[in-house]
């Protein structure tokens, strides 16, 4: 808790070999379909077991552009699907992935792969999160001239300004950006495509704006990968008091400070009673950051009931199980309250000082309040981490594309015509299309969308899906 650096110690060669050897090379490898990018897990497990690390990274890179991201922050649905997980611990697949890519970088095996032929086609990618980056790398390797537009001051999307450094240090992104630049990708940071509402709380450090019309005129195809940035709000009495903020107002500031920037009036938790509302990854990241600031206390609320510590394996395997997940940030110090709902914020002189809650339970499929369970909590800082509802609508509206009922860019993911929006030549991928999700899903969508864009431009594509 004294620093913001990564602290997970990776497997050494001998430990990775043991994990690789535990893989049974199942006839039907459920891990392979449990992994959203369909990593060819049994093959790289075997290569690591045999000590052939160079071929292991070739296999890993064949399905995943950025294993150093997923090897650190993927929740590893592959391990939930591992056959050993039925009656033993799963193979440490994510740790093997982490070990392979770290070794590959340190040995100098990760090199730029510039295209042999240029197509002369120009593609604009809007958003530099994992979806935009994966798509841009694939499209550049297919020979297209790719420009990535990013409204914030650095490349990486939520990898850069959502996920704290202690989960993933940002040098991993910088190294990939260098590789991609050497492959011909141009990055334009501080450029907003389209418009944002004036009162938006979504981070926007753009100094320049490009209109959707201009982008479509200047480029042969456009891929929208702007994420799902609109945070879910909690419009209960007292919401307008000072000291109540979205997680995504709080977390990016610390990542900026870690990068060496000065942030005037940084939102800090020092000596404060912090309440984090929302029990997911984002909430856990607020817990870890608040403890590093030196909060007096950190409490996290989750509206859903506490899940079981252990899943019912025969019932749920090989799928992602519902069970209690305790992150290292929780272990660092945090009171966790489940089945709790916030009814109001209270304050003095315009500043939040506490909140009123009630416990809830499921009745006839609905969450209802349990009478007599009202309670008050002191709070000097409240962080809202209840997920994201959809992309900022004005960006999609600027392109005139159809939205799905949840407000995401509408596009299907079938093999033919996948990722195409209702506007010809405009594609969508990642959280902007599927809604808030995971880094590994964003990489998958970026790769698949790149193939669709390539097919649209050339009539065929050799890019994998």
DSSP β-ladder status, 351-363 and 375-378: antiparallel
User: Can you tell me the distance from the alpha carbon of 277 to that of 337, in angstroms, rounded to the nearest whole number?
Assistant: 10
The pair of structure tokens assigned to 126 is 């809007």
Interface with ligand FAD, residue 137, by CB under 6 A: no
- Cβ proximity of 227 and 151 under 8 Å: no
User: Can you tell me the distance from the alpha carbon of 153 to that of 188, in angstroms, rounded to the nearest whole number?
Assistant: 9
Q: Which of residues 411-440 bind ligand SF4 (CB under 6 A)?
A: 440
Name the region of 417 (left: φ>0; alpha: ψ -120 to 50; beta: rest): left
- DSSP SS3 for 26: coil
Q: Which of residues 71-90 bind ligand FAD (CB under 6 A)?
A: 73-74
**Residue from 127, 184, 212, 238 binding ligand FAD (CB under 6 A):** 127
Interface with ligand SF4, residue 94, by CB under 6 A: yes
**x/- map, 10-39, ligand FAD, by CB under 6 A:** ------------------------------
**Residue from 19, 152, 290, 452 binding ligand FAD (CB under 6 A):** 152
User: Can you tell me the distance from the alpha carbon of 295 to that of 273, in angstroms, rounded to the nearest whole number?
Assistant: 6
**Residue from 442, 450, 453, 457 binding ligand FAD (CB under 6 A):** 442
Q: Least distance (Å) from ligand SF4 to the CB of residue 193?
A: 29
Q: Least distance (Å) from ligand SF4 to the CB of residue 217?
A: 38
Q: Phi and psi dihedrals of 342, rounded to 5?
A: -90, 125
Q: Least distance (Å) from ligand FAD to the CB of residue 400?
A: 14
Helices (H), 345-410: 393-399
Instruction: Find which of ligand SF4, ligand FAD, none residue 225 binds, CB within 5 to 8 Å per kind.
Output: ligand FAD
**x/- map, 41-60, ligand SF4, by CB under 6 A:** x-------------------
The pair of structure tokens assigned to 270 is 């020092």
Interface with ligand FAD, residue 318, by CB under 6 A: no
Q: Least distance (Å) from ligand FAD to the CB of residue 199?
A: 16
**Residue from 16, 35, 104, 287 binding ligand SF4 (CB under 6 A):** 35
Interface with ligand SF4, residue 248, by CB under 6 A: no
Instruction: Find which of ligand SF4, ligand FAD, none residue 420 binds, CB within 5 to 8 Å per kind.
Output: none
Among 48-56, 70-78, 282-290, 386-394, the segment contacting ligand SF4 (CB under 6 A): 70-78
Instruction: Find which of ligand SF4, ligand FAD, none residue 127 binds, CB within 5 to 8 Å per kind.
Output: ligand FAD
Q: Which DSSP string do the residues of 253-280 spell out, in sequence order? A: HHHHHHTT---TT----TT-EEEEE--S
Q: Least distance (Å) from ligand FAD to the CB of residue 118?
A: 25
- Give how many residues touch ligand FAD by CB under 6 A: 39
Helix pair angle (41-49, 93-107), 10° resolution = 60
Q: Least distance (Å) from ligand SF4 to the CB of residue 446?
A: 13
Half-sphere exposure of 245 (CA within 13 A, CB side): 19
Name the nearest CA neighbour of 193 among 157, 155, 150, 156: 150
Radius of gyration from C-alpha coordinates of the chain:
23
User: Can you tell me the distance from the alpha carbon of 434 to that of 438, in angstroms, rounded to the nearest whole number?
Assistant: 10
Q: Least distance (Å) from ligand SF4 to the CB of residue 86?
A: 17
**C-alpha distances in Å from residue 196, one per residue of 155, 211, 297, 393, 441:** 19, 12, 36, 8, 26
Task: Using the minimum distance from each CB to ligand FAD, give the nearer residue, 207 or 351.
Answer: 207
The pair of structure tokens assigned to 171 is 């040098």
**Site for ligand FAD, rule CB under 6 A:** 73-74, 126-132, 149-152, 157-159, 162-163, 167, 192-194, 225-227, 251, 281-282, 285, 395, 430-432, 436-440, 442
């Amino acid at each position: 808790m004294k620093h913001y650096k990564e602290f997970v110690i990776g497997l050494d060669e001998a430990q990775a070999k043991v994990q690789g050897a535990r893989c049974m090379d199942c006839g039907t490898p459920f891990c392979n379909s449990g992994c959203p990018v369909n990593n060819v897990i049994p093959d790289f497990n075997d290569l690591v077991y045999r000590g052939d690390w160079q071929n292991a990274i070739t296999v890993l890179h064949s399905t995943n552009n950025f294993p150093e991201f997923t090897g650190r922050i993927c929740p590893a649905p592959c391990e939930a699907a591992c056959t050993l997980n039925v009656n033993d611990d799963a193979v440490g697949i994510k740790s093997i992935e982490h070990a392979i890519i770290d070794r590959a970088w340190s040995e100098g095996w990760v090199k730029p792969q510039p295209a042999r032929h240029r197509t002369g086609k120009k593609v604009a990618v809007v958003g530099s999160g994992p979806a935009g980056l994966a798509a841009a790398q694939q499209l550049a390797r297919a020979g297209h001239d790719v420009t990535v537009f990013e409204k914030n001051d650095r490349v990486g999307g939520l990898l850069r300004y959502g996920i704290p450094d202690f989960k993933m240090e940002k040098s991993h992104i910088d190294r990939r950006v260098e590789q991609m630049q050497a492959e011909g990708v141009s990055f334009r940071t501080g450029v907003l495509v389209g418009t944002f509402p004036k009162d938006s709380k979504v981070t926007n450090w753009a100094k320049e704006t490009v209109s959707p019309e201009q982008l479509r005129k200047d480029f042969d195809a456009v891929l929208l990968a702007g994420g799902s940035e609109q945070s879910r709000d909690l419009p209960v009495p007292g919401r307008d008091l000072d000291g109540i903020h979205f997680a995504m107002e709080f977390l990016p500031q610390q990542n900026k400070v870690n990068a060496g920037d000065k942030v005037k009036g940084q939102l800090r938790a020092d000596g404060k009673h912090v309440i984090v509302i929302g029990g997911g990854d984002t909430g856990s990241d607020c817990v870890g950051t608040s403890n590093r600031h030196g909060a007096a206390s950190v409490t996290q609320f989750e509206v859903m009931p506490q899940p079981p510590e252990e899943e019912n394996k025969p019932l749920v395997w090989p799928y992602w199980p519902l069970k209690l997940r305790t992150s290292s940030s929780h272990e660092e110090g945090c009171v966790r309250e489940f089945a709790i709902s916030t009814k109001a914020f209270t304050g003095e002189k315009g500043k939040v000082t506490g909140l009123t809650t009630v416990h809830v339970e499921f009745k006839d499929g609905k969450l209802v309040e349990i009478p007599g369970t009202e309670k008050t909590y002191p709070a000097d800082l409240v962080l809202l981490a209840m997920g994201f509802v959809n992309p900022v609508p004005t960006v999609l509206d600027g392109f005139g594309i159809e939205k799905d009922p949840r407000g995401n860019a509408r596009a299907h993911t079938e093999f033919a015509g996948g990722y195409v929006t209702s506007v010809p030549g405009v594609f969508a991928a990642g959280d902007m299309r599927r809604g808030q999700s995971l880094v590994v899903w964003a990489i998958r969508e970026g790769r698949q969308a790149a193939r669709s864009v390539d097919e649209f431009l050339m009539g065929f594509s050799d890019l994998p899906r």
